[in-house]
Protein backbone atom coordinates (compact mmCIF):
# COMPACT_ATOMS: atom_id res chain seq x y z
CA UNK A 1 0.00 0.00 0.00
CA UNK A 2 2.90 2.37 0.66
CA UNK A 3 4.00 2.07 -2.96
CA UNK A 4 0.46 2.84 -4.14
CA UNK A 5 0.36 5.88 -1.90
CA UNK A 6 3.62 7.16 -3.32
CA UNK A 7 2.36 6.66 -6.87
CA UNK A 8 -0.84 8.50 -5.95
CA UNK A 9 1.17 11.43 -4.54
CA UNK A 10 3.28 11.71 -7.70
CA UNK A 11 0.33 11.43 -10.09
CA UNK A 12 -1.70 13.98 -8.09
CA UNK A 13 1.23 16.43 -8.04
CA UNK A 14 1.73 16.10 -11.81
CA UNK A 15 -1.97 16.54 -12.58
CA UNK A 16 -2.43 19.55 -10.28
CA UNK A 17 0.71 21.12 -11.76
CA UNK A 18 0.39 20.14 -15.42
CA UNK A 19 0.69 23.54 -17.11
CA UNK A 20 4.30 23.13 -18.21
CA UNK A 21 3.81 25.40 -21.23
CA UNK A 22 5.01 28.29 -19.04
CA UNK A 23 8.57 27.05 -19.62
CA UNK A 24 8.47 28.29 -23.21
CA UNK A 25 5.50 30.67 -23.22
CA UNK A 26 6.53 32.64 -20.16
CA UNK A 27 5.46 32.68 -16.50
CA UNK A 28 1.97 34.29 -16.49
CA UNK A 29 -0.32 32.48 -14.05
CA UNK A 30 -2.62 29.94 -15.70
CA UNK A 31 -6.20 31.24 -15.82
CA UNK A 32 -8.08 28.37 -17.50
CA UNK A 33 -11.45 26.99 -16.42
CA UNK A 34 -9.83 24.46 -14.06
CA UNK A 35 -8.61 27.30 -11.81
CA UNK A 36 -12.19 27.39 -10.53
CA UNK A 37 -11.59 23.97 -8.97
CA UNK A 38 -9.99 23.69 -5.53
CA UNK A 39 -6.99 21.40 -5.22
CA UNK A 40 -7.45 18.65 -2.59
CA UNK A 41 -4.02 19.48 -1.19
CA UNK A 42 -1.87 22.52 -0.42
CA UNK A 43 -0.73 23.82 -3.80
CA UNK A 44 -0.17 27.50 -4.58
CA UNK A 45 -2.60 29.21 -6.96
CA UNK A 46 0.24 31.39 -8.29
CA UNK A 47 2.50 28.49 -9.21
CA UNK A 48 2.99 28.90 -13.00
CA UNK A 49 2.37 25.17 -13.48
CA UNK A 50 -0.77 24.99 -11.29
CA UNK A 51 -4.09 24.39 -13.03
CA UNK A 52 -6.26 24.44 -9.87
CA UNK A 53 -6.86 26.83 -6.98
CA UNK A 54 -5.58 26.44 -3.43
CA UNK A 55 -8.50 25.97 -0.99
CA UNK A 56 -6.70 27.87 1.80
CA UNK A 57 -5.94 30.75 -0.56
CA UNK A 58 -9.53 30.78 -1.77
CA UNK A 59 -10.88 30.76 1.78
CA UNK A 60 -8.60 33.63 2.80
CA UNK A 61 -9.56 35.70 -0.24
CA UNK A 62 -13.23 35.24 0.58
CA UNK A 63 -12.80 36.16 4.24
CA UNK A 64 -10.48 39.08 3.47
CA UNK A 65 -13.12 40.65 1.23
CA UNK A 66 -16.21 39.61 3.17
CA UNK A 67 -16.90 43.18 4.41
CA UNK A 68 -16.98 44.50 0.86
CA UNK A 69 -17.81 41.59 -1.39
CA UNK A 70 -21.25 40.64 -0.12
CA UNK A 71 -22.74 40.39 -3.60
CA UNK A 72 -24.25 37.01 -4.53
CA UNK A 73 -21.25 36.12 -6.72
CA UNK A 74 -18.82 36.64 -3.87
CA UNK A 75 -20.95 34.71 -1.43
CA UNK A 76 -21.32 31.85 -3.89
CA UNK A 77 -17.54 31.66 -4.25
CA UNK A 78 -17.10 31.47 -0.49
CA UNK A 79 -19.79 28.81 -0.20
CA UNK A 80 -18.12 26.84 -3.00
CA UNK A 81 -14.76 26.77 -1.21
CA UNK A 82 -16.33 25.80 2.12
CA UNK A 83 -18.50 23.21 0.41
CA UNK A 84 -15.51 21.66 -1.35
CA UNK A 85 -13.59 21.35 1.91
CA UNK A 86 -16.62 19.86 3.69
CA UNK A 87 -17.28 17.39 0.86
CA UNK A 88 -13.71 16.13 0.75
CA UNK A 89 -13.45 15.97 4.53
CA UNK A 90 -16.78 14.20 5.05
CA UNK A 91 -15.85 11.48 2.56
CA UNK A 92 -12.22 10.78 3.40
CA UNK A 93 -11.17 12.95 6.33
CA UNK A 94 -7.51 13.84 6.19
CA UNK A 95 -6.56 11.28 3.54
CA UNK A 96 -5.63 13.98 0.93
CA UNK A 97 -2.75 15.03 3.20
CA UNK A 98 -0.91 11.77 2.64
CA UNK A 99 -2.22 10.62 -0.76
CA UNK A 100 -2.84 13.78 -2.82
CA UNK A 101 -1.02 16.80 -1.36
CA UNK A 102 2.05 17.96 -3.36
CA UNK A 103 3.64 19.61 -0.35
CA UNK A 104 3.13 16.43 1.64
CA UNK A 105 5.23 14.62 -0.98
CA UNK A 106 7.92 17.30 -0.73
CA UNK A 107 8.06 16.90 3.05
CA UNK A 108 8.53 13.15 2.78
CA UNK A 109 11.35 13.61 0.28
CA UNK A 110 13.04 16.11 2.61
CA UNK A 111 12.81 13.64 5.51
CA UNK A 112 14.87 11.17 3.50
CA UNK A 113 17.90 13.42 3.86
CA UNK A 114 20.63 11.63 5.84
CA UNK A 115 20.59 13.92 8.87
CA UNK A 116 19.85 13.28 12.58
CA UNK A 117 16.14 12.95 13.34
CA UNK A 118 14.20 14.42 16.24
CA UNK A 119 10.72 13.70 17.54
CA UNK A 120 7.91 16.21 17.99
CA UNK A 121 6.01 16.88 21.20
CA UNK A 122 2.29 16.21 21.03
CA UNK A 123 1.37 19.74 22.05
CA UNK A 124 2.48 20.82 18.56
CA UNK A 125 -0.79 19.30 17.34
CA UNK A 126 -2.53 22.49 18.40
CA UNK A 127 -0.40 24.47 15.96
CA UNK A 128 -2.49 23.88 12.79
CA UNK A 129 -5.62 25.10 14.57
CA UNK A 130 -3.81 28.21 15.83
CA UNK A 131 -2.66 29.04 12.29
CA UNK A 132 -6.11 28.26 10.91
CA UNK A 133 -7.89 30.46 13.44
CA UNK A 134 -5.41 33.34 13.49
CA UNK A 135 -3.84 33.59 10.01
CA UNK A 136 -6.65 32.17 7.86
CA UNK A 137 -9.80 33.42 9.64
CA UNK A 138 -9.29 36.15 12.26
CA UNK A 139 -6.61 38.39 10.72
CA UNK A 140 -8.07 38.47 7.17
CA UNK A 141 -11.45 39.51 8.60
CA UNK A 142 -10.38 41.98 11.28
CA UNK A 143 -7.24 43.64 9.89
CA UNK A 144 -8.39 45.61 6.86
CA UNK A 145 -7.20 48.62 4.88
CA UNK A 146 -9.01 51.92 4.33
CA UNK A 147 -11.23 50.37 1.65
CA UNK A 148 -12.32 47.50 3.90
CA UNK A 149 -10.22 44.75 2.31
CA UNK A 150 -8.15 42.39 4.42
CA UNK A 151 -5.03 40.46 3.48
CA UNK A 152 -4.26 36.79 2.88
CA UNK A 153 -2.04 36.53 5.94
CA UNK A 154 -1.14 32.85 5.73
CA UNK A 155 -0.28 32.99 2.02
CA UNK A 156 1.57 36.28 2.39
CA UNK A 157 3.68 35.63 5.48
CA UNK A 158 3.81 31.90 6.22
CA UNK A 159 2.99 29.42 3.43
CA UNK A 160 6.20 27.67 2.30
CA UNK A 161 4.39 26.03 -0.63
CA UNK A 162 3.72 29.46 -2.12
CA UNK A 163 7.37 30.47 -1.87
CA UNK A 164 8.64 27.19 -3.31
CA UNK A 165 6.05 26.68 -6.05
CA UNK A 166 5.33 30.29 -7.04
CA UNK A 167 7.78 32.82 -5.60
CA UNK A 168 11.03 31.15 -6.63
CA UNK A 169 9.91 30.05 -10.15
CA UNK A 170 8.31 33.42 -10.97
CA UNK A 171 11.35 35.39 -9.83
CA UNK A 172 13.64 33.03 -11.71
CA UNK A 173 11.73 33.53 -14.96
CA UNK A 174 10.93 37.24 -14.65
CA UNK A 175 13.70 39.83 -14.21
CA UNK A 176 11.19 42.58 -13.43
CA UNK A 177 9.85 40.60 -10.48
CA UNK A 178 13.40 40.00 -9.24
CA UNK A 179 14.05 43.74 -9.19
CA UNK A 180 10.74 44.36 -7.41
CA UNK A 181 11.23 41.64 -4.77
CA UNK A 182 11.75 43.14 -1.33
CA UNK A 183 11.90 42.17 2.32
CA UNK A 184 8.61 40.32 2.14
CA UNK A 185 10.11 37.75 -0.22
CA UNK A 186 13.25 37.54 1.92
CA UNK A 187 11.03 36.84 4.94
CA UNK A 188 9.14 34.12 3.05
CA UNK A 189 12.42 32.60 1.87
CA UNK A 190 13.70 32.43 5.45
CA UNK A 191 10.44 30.75 6.53
CA UNK A 192 10.75 28.24 3.68
CA UNK A 193 14.33 27.38 4.61
CA UNK A 194 13.46 27.01 8.30
CA UNK A 195 10.47 24.75 7.60
CA UNK A 196 12.47 22.70 5.07
CA UNK A 197 15.23 22.08 7.62
CA UNK A 198 12.60 21.14 10.21
CA UNK A 199 11.04 18.67 7.77
CA UNK A 200 14.46 17.09 7.23
CA UNK A 201 14.77 16.21 10.91
CA UNK A 202 11.09 15.66 11.81
CA UNK A 203 8.63 13.67 9.74
CA UNK A 204 6.01 15.96 8.16
CA UNK A 205 6.73 18.80 10.58
CA UNK A 206 4.69 21.30 8.56
CA UNK A 207 1.64 19.00 8.44
CA UNK A 208 1.76 18.28 12.13
CA UNK A 209 2.51 21.75 13.50
CA UNK A 210 1.37 24.37 10.96
CA UNK A 211 -0.86 23.31 8.05
CA UNK A 212 -4.36 24.87 8.32
CA UNK A 213 -5.71 22.70 5.49
CA UNK A 214 -4.83 19.58 7.45
CA UNK A 215 -6.53 21.12 10.48
CA UNK A 216 -9.78 21.50 8.53
CA UNK A 217 -9.72 17.97 7.13
CA UNK A 218 -8.71 16.59 10.54
CA UNK A 219 -11.96 17.86 12.04
CA UNK A 220 -13.78 15.33 9.84
CA UNK A 221 -11.66 12.28 10.74
CA UNK A 222 -14.12 10.84 13.27
CA UNK A 223 -17.23 11.41 11.16
CA UNK A 224 -15.98 10.81 7.61
CA UNK A 225 -17.22 7.88 5.56
CA UNK A 226 -13.70 6.44 5.49
CA UNK A 227 -12.86 5.11 8.93
CA UNK A 228 -9.98 3.23 10.51
CA UNK A 229 -11.04 0.62 13.06
CA UNK A 230 -8.94 -0.93 15.82
CA UNK A 231 -9.67 -4.27 17.49
CA UNK A 232 -7.74 -4.32 20.81
CA UNK A 233 -8.54 -8.03 21.32
CA UNK A 234 -6.22 -8.83 18.41
CA UNK A 235 -3.44 -6.41 19.40
CA UNK A 236 -0.20 -7.99 20.70
CA UNK A 237 1.41 -4.69 21.74
CA UNK A 238 4.25 -4.86 19.22
CA UNK A 239 4.10 -1.06 18.68
CA UNK A 240 4.63 -1.49 14.94
CA UNK A 241 1.75 0.91 14.26
CA UNK A 242 3.27 3.66 16.41
CA UNK A 243 6.73 3.15 14.93
CA UNK A 244 5.37 3.44 11.38
CA UNK A 245 3.02 6.36 12.06
CA UNK A 246 4.29 9.69 10.65
CA UNK A 247 2.05 11.55 13.12
CA UNK A 248 3.23 9.57 16.18
CA UNK A 249 -0.29 8.44 17.09
CA UNK A 250 -0.58 5.88 19.91
CA UNK A 251 -3.92 4.15 19.59
CA UNK A 252 -2.72 0.65 20.50
CA UNK A 253 -2.58 1.63 24.19
CA UNK A 254 -5.61 3.94 24.19
CA UNK A 255 -3.55 7.14 24.41
CA UNK A 256 -5.03 8.43 21.13
CA UNK A 257 -8.03 7.62 19.00
CA UNK A 258 -7.21 5.72 15.82
CA UNK A 259 -9.22 8.43 14.02
CA UNK A 260 -7.42 11.28 15.79
CA UNK A 261 -7.48 14.69 14.10
CA UNK A 262 -3.70 14.27 13.72
CA UNK A 263 -4.07 11.12 11.60
CA UNK A 264 -3.26 11.77 7.93
CA UNK A 265 -4.74 8.44 6.81
CA UNK A 266 -1.51 7.11 5.28
CA UNK A 267 -2.71 3.57 6.13
CA UNK A 268 0.72 2.47 7.31
CA UNK A 269 -0.77 1.06 10.53
CA UNK A 270 -3.21 -0.99 8.47
CA UNK A 271 -0.45 -2.35 6.26
CA UNK A 272 2.11 -3.07 8.96
CA UNK A 273 -0.06 -4.67 11.68
CA UNK A 274 1.03 -8.35 11.89
CA UNK A 275 -2.29 -9.52 13.41
CA UNK A 276 -4.75 -7.46 11.35
CA UNK A 277 -5.95 -5.48 14.36
CA UNK A 278 -6.50 -2.46 12.11
CA UNK A 279 -9.23 -2.52 9.48
CA UNK A 280 -10.90 -0.05 7.11
CA UNK A 281 -14.56 0.70 6.58
CA UNK A 282 -16.30 3.04 4.19
CA UNK A 283 -19.84 4.33 4.25
CA UNK A 284 -22.19 6.36 6.43
CA UNK A 285 -22.00 4.88 9.90
CA UNK A 286 -22.16 5.96 13.52
CA UNK A 287 -19.69 5.00 16.22
CA UNK A 288 -20.55 5.03 19.88
CA UNK A 289 -17.67 6.27 22.09
CA UNK A 290 -17.28 2.97 23.89
CA UNK A 291 -17.21 0.96 20.68
CA UNK A 292 -14.77 3.05 18.62
CA UNK A 293 -11.64 1.43 19.92
CA UNK A 294 -13.17 -2.00 19.33
CA UNK A 295 -13.88 -1.10 15.73
CA UNK A 296 -17.60 -1.92 15.91
CA UNK A 297 -19.72 -0.01 13.43
CA UNK A 298 -23.31 0.92 14.17
CA UNK A 299 -25.12 1.49 10.90
CA UNK A 300 -27.01 4.72 10.62
CA UNK A 301 -30.80 4.30 10.38
Question: Does 170 lie in the same domain as 30?
Answer: yes
Is residue 85 located within the same domain as residue 158? Answer: yes
Q: Which of these three, 182, 217, 252, is where a domain ends?
A: 217
How many structural domains comprise the chain? 2
Range of the domain at 32: 2-217
Instruction: Quick: pLDDT tens for 140-170.
Output: 999 988 888 889 999 999 999 999 999 898 8
**Residue 291 pLDDT level (bands cut at 50, 70, 90):** very low
Q: How far apart are CA 44 and CA 79, in angstroms?
A: 20
- Residues 194, 117 share a domain: yes
Q: Are residues 190 and 251 in the same domain?
A: no
% of the chain exceeding 90 in pLDDT = 70
Residue 193 shares a structural domain with residue 233: no
Q: What is residue 20's predicted lDDT score, i.e. its pLDDT?
A: 86
Residue 26 DSSP class:
-
Q: What is the pLDDT of residue 274?
A: 95
Q: What local confidence, expressed as pLDDT, does residue 278 receive? A: 96
Any idea of the CA torsion for 183, 184, 187, 191, to the nearest 10 degrees? -160
252 and 138 in a common domain: no
> Among candidates 86, 45, 41, 84, which has minimal Cα distance to 214?
41
Rg of the chain taking only CA atoms, in angstroms: 20
Model pLDDT, residue 172: 85
Task: Check pLDDT > 50 for residue 288.
Answer: no
Same domain, residue pair 139 and 276? no
Note the pLDDT of residue 74. 54
Q: Give me the half-sphere count of Cα atoms (radius 13 Å) on the Cβ side of residue 223.
A: 9
Separation between Cα atoms, residue 258 and residue 26, nearest integer Å: 47
Query: What pLDDT, on a 0 to 100 scale, did the predictor assign at position 218?
Result: 96
Query: Same structural domain for residues 121 and 89?
Result: yes
Q: Under a CB-based contact definition with an 8 Å cutoff, are residues 94 and 257 in contact? A: no
User: What pLDDT is stored for residue 296 in this prediction?
Assistant: 39
Q: Give the pTM.
A: 0.88
Asked whether residue 196 falls in the same domain as residue 233, the answer is: no
Are both 103 and 61 inside the same structural domain?
Answer: yes
Angle at CA 47, nearest 5°, toward 194 and 81?
A: 95
For 206-261, what is each residue's pLDDT tens digit? 999 999 999 999 999 999 999 999 999 999 999 999 999 999 999 999 999 999 99
Lowest mean pLDDT among 11-15, 38-42, 146-150: 146-150
Same domain, residue pair 107 and 170 = yes
pLDDT number for residue 77: 64
157 and 284 part of one domain: no
Picking from 164, 195, 217, the residue at the C-terminal end of a domain is 217
CATH number at residue 281: 3.30.70.20
Q: Pairing state of beta strands 285-286 and 278-282?
A: unpaired
Mean pLDDT of the chain: 88
Q: pLDDT tens-digit profile of 91-100? A: 999 999 999 9
Amino acid sequence: MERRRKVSQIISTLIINSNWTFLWKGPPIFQGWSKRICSPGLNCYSCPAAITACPIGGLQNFLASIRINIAPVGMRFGAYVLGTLALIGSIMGRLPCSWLCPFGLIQELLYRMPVPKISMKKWFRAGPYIFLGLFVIVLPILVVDATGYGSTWFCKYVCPAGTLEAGIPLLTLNSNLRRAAGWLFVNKLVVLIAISVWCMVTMRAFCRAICPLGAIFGLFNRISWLQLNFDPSRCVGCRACKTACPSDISFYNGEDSINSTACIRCMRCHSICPVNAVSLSFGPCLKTPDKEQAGIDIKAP
